[in-house]
Structure 1
Amino acid sequence: MKLEYRWLLPSVLLGDPDEGRPVRRSTRDWIVDIVVFVAACGLAVLTLPDLDGLARPLRISEQVFGALACASVWLRRRWPVTLSVVLTLLSAVFVMVGGGAALALFTVAVHRPFKISGIVLGLNLLTVFPLAWWRPDELGPLWTAGVMVLIVLLVFGWGIVVRSRRQLVYSLREQAKVAGREARRLERERIAREMHDVLAHRISILSLHAGALEFRPDAPAEQIAKAAGAIRESAHQALQDLREVIGVLRQPGEQGELLPERPQPTLADLPSLVEESREAGMEVELRLDVEQAPESLGRNAYRIVQEALTNARKHAPGALVRVGMEGGRGEGLTIAVRNKIGWPSAIPGTGTGLIGLAERAELAGGRLEHRRTPEGDFVLEAWLPWQT
């Protein structure tokens, strides 16, 4: 536990909550730890010539503490700060501990913030001078201390660079995750807008056919059968659309796989939309003076006309609806829908249709306006950019 060794060191050195926790090593961690252990052993072996001339007890002590220092590097992931402090203090007396102390300092620089690793660095720099005076090189203690200070700073700086790189990679990964979640959220919002337009259109047609049956119970059997078939078909299409949007909006990991998004309508499907509205009892005039448009542009134009026809069915049932569309590359696509203002039908509205159309037009880089004319008409006009 942490409290078992807090009395040994200043609390600022043990401020990281991960200190002392069990570590599960991956295959890569095992490889790195083996390399570090071999490196510690190699550094210890390089210092063996420095033991010449020492008394036998001191030489044995150097070898024992050097071996323990090499073995202790396996604890650097679990107790990096504690290990570094202990090895640093020992390196002030024993030369063979220096390699393990350097690797422990590197670990602290990589895995701990500077408020902790900086104190450990300061302790390493302080312990350089006793060893330099106790075991000086042939060139003197000042030269020895200078070389050791340079080595300590290089090891610490290397650790800081590795830590900064890891933090950068982690930050980029987090940004990518956030961007992915935002992209999924925007895509779901787009699908929700699409489904609002589609379902509102389907249900309004269904309501018109049902209303015709309600107000014309004495209609010929052929007309009743045709209206009933249209109701069945509209209800089936509405359920199919709803099933698809539920499948697309399903979160990953839930039961079932994401259903593929069906092909989106384009300008080529606009006559079929108008014909469907006519079969539901609407009077629609279509003037389409447009060459073949890009798929995204055609889809946006189709949805605008679809929502405009749905609004006309809701708020001006029985009124003539004139739909006009013209434009070309470079000049943009202009859409105009005009109908007389009549009595609203019994079909409830959410009040978000025109708002959704304005958002769709703005997202496409265009604009949408609607107004009432002095002649008593409701006019909806939209302009969408058409790149050359």
Structure 2
Amino acid sequence: MSLVSVAPALAGLALLTVAATWTTITQGSTAVPAAVDVAVGILSLGALLLVRDRPLPAGLLLGLLAALSPAATPAATAGTLAAGRLHPVRTAWTVAAASVVGHAVQGLWRPPGMPYGWWLLCDVAVHAALLGWGAYARTRAELVAAWRERAVRAEQEQARRVDEARLAERTRIAREMHDTLAHRLSLLATTAGALEYRTDLTPAQVAQAAGVVRASAGEALTELREVIGVLRSAPDELRPTPGVGDLARLVEESRLAGTDVELSAPDDLDVPPAVGLAVYRACQEGLTNARRHSPGSRVRIDVTRSDDGVAVRVADHRRGGTGGSLVGPNGEGSGTGLVGLAERVELLGGRLDAGPSDDGFVLTASVPWSR
């Protein structure tokens, strides 16, 4: 509690002390000088201010002053309430006991206006009530502070979870955009490059290449809508994700774009959708990298199954055995596709490896699953 918050209470207590001092002087025994009562009233207010930092000395001093004069009664009883509010009960009760003893002594040589036994009983009851009231206020304040701290921690934790969810969603969308659009755009670039530089193409070959461009552009638009659809509230509107059964179509698209691709995959491979999508994306990324970094190379895709999963191997046999790199000859590529693919495979408990081999570049992925 700050001084500003307790200032009204101190002002009221000072008025009560003045009233108690005046009553004691006008109605008390003439054997005690009035100056003593005034001094006791002032000292009791000063002693009350010590209850916060030094409860035991302050309680003893208030009890002693209460034994000398009723002018200390307001401050002594308020000291019991303050001690209960500011300190544990094991400390506050000593302040209350000192005040009760002080008033008991006061009642012996300055008889109250009622039987001494009843007066002492009322005094004990008042101090007990004030002590309980103060302890209740202290406990309630501690609970409110704990609840407030817990609410703040909960808000911070919720904000952290929201940030993590947003980051995960952005990463997923970025991965989907790369996996879907990079393949289509690489097909467009390869075919458009052939149309630009191959002046010896026949009209039929030009028409075929233009058809590949048109089909790839249409597929790119469709897949872009799918990625945008990830942000919608109704994901059921999206078409089914590609899987192992779509590998033949993927290879055929690459062949139409001029890539020499050989596919070896079981016809009856039935895997969960998430595993099938990972296999499809691994083959797609391998074809995209081969088309981007080593155009004209021969690519072989092998998809095999084992007792505990599916293995994918995409090897592009680059001319001259120059090996491979995540960065193209013109500084193209950043490796983000392989990073996203590795994240996808690792989320399923698998492993992805990619790097140069003796005669090209090899991408391998192992995706476990249980039947």
What's the TM-score once normalised by structure 1's chain length?
0.60
Partner secondary structure for residue 334 of structure 1: strand
Residue identity matched to 1:322? R
Q: 1:160 to 1:211 in 2, by over 3 A?
A: same
After TM superposition, the structure 1 = structure 2 runs for residues 276-355 of structure 1, keeping only pairs within 5 Å, are 276-289=253-266, 291-328=269-306, 331-342=308-319, 348-355=332-339
Partner secondary structure for residue 336 of structure 1: strand
Q: Could you tell me how far 1:141 is from its partner in structure 2?
A: 3.0
Is the contact made by 1:314 and 1:345 (CA closer than 8 Å) also made in structure 2? no
Residue 223 of structure 1 aligns with which residue?
A: 205
Residue 274 of structure 1 aligns with which residue?
A: 251
Q: Could you tell me how far 1:356 is from its partner in structure 2?
A: 3.2
Residue identity matched to 1:341? R
Q: Could you tell me how far 1:179 is from its partner in structure 2?
A: 0.6
Q: 1:361 to 1:281 in 2, by over 3 A?
A: same
Q: Could you tell me how far 1:285 is from its partner in structure 2?
A: 1.5
Is the contact made by 1:244 and 1:259 (CA closer than 8 Å) also made in structure 2? no
Which residue, 86, 89, 110 being the options, matches 2:8? 86
Q: Does residue 1:363 correspond to 2:347, yes or no? A: yes
Q: Distance in 1 between matches of 2:185 and 2:211?
A: 14
After TM superposition, the structure 1 = structure 2 runs for residues 79-118 of structure 1, keeping only pairs within 5 Å, are 82=5, 86-87=8-9, 90=12
Residue identity matched to 2:138? F
After TM superposition, the structure 1 = structure 2 runs for residues 47-86 of structure 1, keeping only pairs within 5 Å, are 82=5, 86=8
Q: 1:233 to 1:258 in 2, by over 3 A?
A: farther
Q: Distance in 1 between matches of 2:299 and 2:257?
A: 13
Larger Rg: 2
Q: Could you tell me how far 1:335 is from its partner in structure 2?
A: 0.8
Residue 190 of structure 1 aligns with which residue?
A: 172
Q: 1:85 to 1:265 in 2, by over 3 A?
A: farther
Q: Could you tell me how far 1:157 is from its partner in structure 2?
A: 0.5
Q: Distance in 1 between matches of 2:244 and 2:274?
A: 10
Structure 1 portions without partners, runs of 5+: 1-11, 15-80, 95-117, 250-256
Q: Which moved more, 1:377-386 or 1:143-152?
A: 143-152
Residue 367 of structure 2 aligns with which residue?
A: 384
Q: Does residue 1:176 correspond to 2:158, yes or no? A: yes
Q: Distance in 2 between matches of 1:296 and 1:180?
A: 25
Q: Distance in 1 between matches of 2:10 and 2:251?
A: 83
Q: Distance in 2 between matches of 1:333 and 1:342?
A: 29
Residue 212 of structure 1 aligns with which residue?
A: 194
Q: Which moved more, 1:276-285 or 1:229-238?
A: 229-238
Q: Could you tell me how far 1:345 is from its partner in structure 2?
A: 7.8
Is the contact made by 1:204 and 1:347 (CA closer than 8 Å) also made in structure 2? no
Q: 1:286 to 1:125 in 2, by over 3 A?
A: same
Is the contact made by 1:314 and 1:347 (CA closer than 8 Å) also made in structure 2? no
Q: Could you tell me how far 1:243 is from its partner in structure 2?
A: 5.6
Residue identity matched to 2:137? V
Q: Distance in 2 between matches of 1:353 and 1:278?
A: 21
Residue 82 of structure 2 aligns with which residue?
A: 125
Partner secondary structure for residue 233 of structure 1: helix
Q: Percent identity?
A: 39
Q: Could you tell me how far 1:358 is from its partner in structure 2?
A: 2.8
Partner secondary structure for residue 349 of structure 2: coil
Partner secondary structure for residue 365 of structure 1: coil
Q: 1:350 to 1:236 in 2, by over 3 A?
A: farther
Is the contact made by 1:137 and 1:143 (CA closer than 8 Å) also made in structure 2? no
Give the total of aligned pairs.
Answer: 278
Q: Deviations over 1:67-101 (max 9, x none)?
A: xxxxxxxxxxxxxx72x65247647987xxxxxxx
Q: Deviations over 1:12-49 (max 9, x none)?
A: 716xxxxxxxxxxxxxxxxxxxxxxxxxxxxxxxxxxx
Partner secondary structure for residue 139 of structure 1: helix
